[in-house]
Structure 1
Amino acid sequence: MPDSYADLSRFYDLVMTSGYYDYDAYAHAILPCIGTRKDVLELGVGTGLVADRLLALGPGDLRLTAIDHTDSMLAQARDRLGDRARLRREDILDLDLPSAFDVAYSVGGVWYIVQDGEESWLSSHLMEEEDNERALTNLAAAIRPGGSLLLSVQGPHRRSDRPLPGGLLYTQHVEVDPAGRHLKDYFIEDQGVVVAHQRLRFRLFPREAADRLLRRCGFHLQDSEGVLWQYVRR
């Protein structure tokens, strides 16, 4: 995968904590799914915002491994998390971890669920179906049978803007083609001047296609309520 958030990374926390995500809500939803299990994997740790809340609210013996493929994001995550989590630079397409995890979760990371009314899709940073199958198969190999894959739920991508602290402005533009491929541009402006721009691509898999893909890779949907969908590793 490309170094997706390299340009946006220095403004990432400002954007994400200005109303983009409710990190407490996600952490509170993840913890009951972990239960008494200890070995947890985060897919796309970013700057460590989810991991920080999870470690603060969860049991002291939680063993969290968190991966990302963007060096600048990992550097910020190391500053935030210190030695509370094991951080690794990993590309999900070449993921090679031991089969040692009870739970894996992705909050807006490699995969997540997009809901719009009664419709839902699997959103992926990987554009090709064969890459998603390869990556999900890699992930399944890292999760113990009976373990869980948790995917966050969020609304659809739309054009929007939002003021940020310090007089900055965040804007996102979204274009969609008929195959469900999204082109999303993020802009940070200061006094009308663009100081950061990031372009990302997403692909949306309709619910039935997503279910087939995940089943082929060893995951069965267990729960699709609330802010997380929970899959079980067969």
Structure 2
Amino acid sequence: MPDSYADLSHFYDLVMTSGYYDYDAYARNLLTRIGPRRDVLELGIGTGLVGDRLLALGPQDLRLTGIDHTDNMLAQARDRLGDRARLAREDVLDMSSPSAFDVAYSIGGVWYIVQNGEESWLSSHLMDEEDNAAGLANLAAAIRPGGSLLLSVQGPHRRYDRTLPGGLVYTQHVAVDPEGRHTKDYFIEDQGVVLAHQRLRFRLFPQETADRLLERCGFHFQESDGVLWQYDRC
């Protein structure tokens, strides 16, 4: 995948901590699902915001590894997490960590669930179905049998704007093609002047397609509580 947050990385924490996510809620929910297991992988650790809360609220012997494909984000994660986590620049299409983890999770990272009422989709930053199969197969190889994959739940993507601390404005625009491929443009503006612009592309797979894809790679749906969906590794 390309270095998809390079332009926005300077403002990423400002956007994410202004109400975009409730990191404490995600961390507590993750810890409930993780339970006594200790070897944990975060997919798309970004600047380390989720990992920081997970390590702060979790047991001292929790062993967190975070991977990301964006150098600028990883640099910020290293500043935030120090030696509390192992961080690596790695792409799910190239990862090779056989049976190293008990749990992997993605909070708006490579994969997550989009839910709108009774309908749900698997959102992926990988546009091609076979790339998703390859990435999920690599992930399955990295999770011990009986382990779990936890995916966050989000609402539908839409256009909106938000005022940030310091008077900056965050805006996102979304366009969708008939195949479920989304193009999302992010803008940071100061009094109408664009300070940063980032374009990301992702694809929504209908839940039936997603379940078939996940099962093909060794993951079976276990449960959902509206915050996380859990798939267990056979």
Q: Normalised by the size of structure 1, how large is the TM-score?
A: 0.99
* Deviation readout 1:65-120 (Å, 9 max, x if unpaired): 00000000000000000000000000111111131100000000000000011100
**1:155 matches 2:134:** no
1:12 deviation in Å?
0.2
Match of 1:90 in 2: 90
**Matches of 1:6 and 1:97, distance apart in 2:** 26
Match of 1:73 in 2: 73
1:178 deviation in Å?
0.8
Match of 2:168 in 1: 168
Residues 47-196 of structure 1: pairs in structure 2 closer than 5 A: 47-196=47-196
Match of 1:220 in 2: 220
SS in 2 for 1:94: coil
1:226 deviation in Å?
2.3
**Matches of 1:98 and 1:116, distance apart in 2:** 35
Identity of aligned pairs, percent?
83
Match of 1:8 in 2: 8
SS in 2 for 1:120: strand
1:160 deviation in Å?
0.3
* Deviation readout 1:201-224 (Å, 9 max, x if unpaired): 010000100000000000000002
How many pairs does the alignment contain?
234
Runs of 4+ in 1 over 6 A off after TM superposition: none
Match of 2:207 in 1: 207
Q: CA RMSD in A?
A: 0.5
Amino acid at match of 2:134: R
| Stretches of structure 1 lacking an aligned partner (at least 5 in a row) | none
**Matches of 2:82 and 2:136, distance apart in 1:** 29
More displaced, 93-102 or 56-65? 93-102
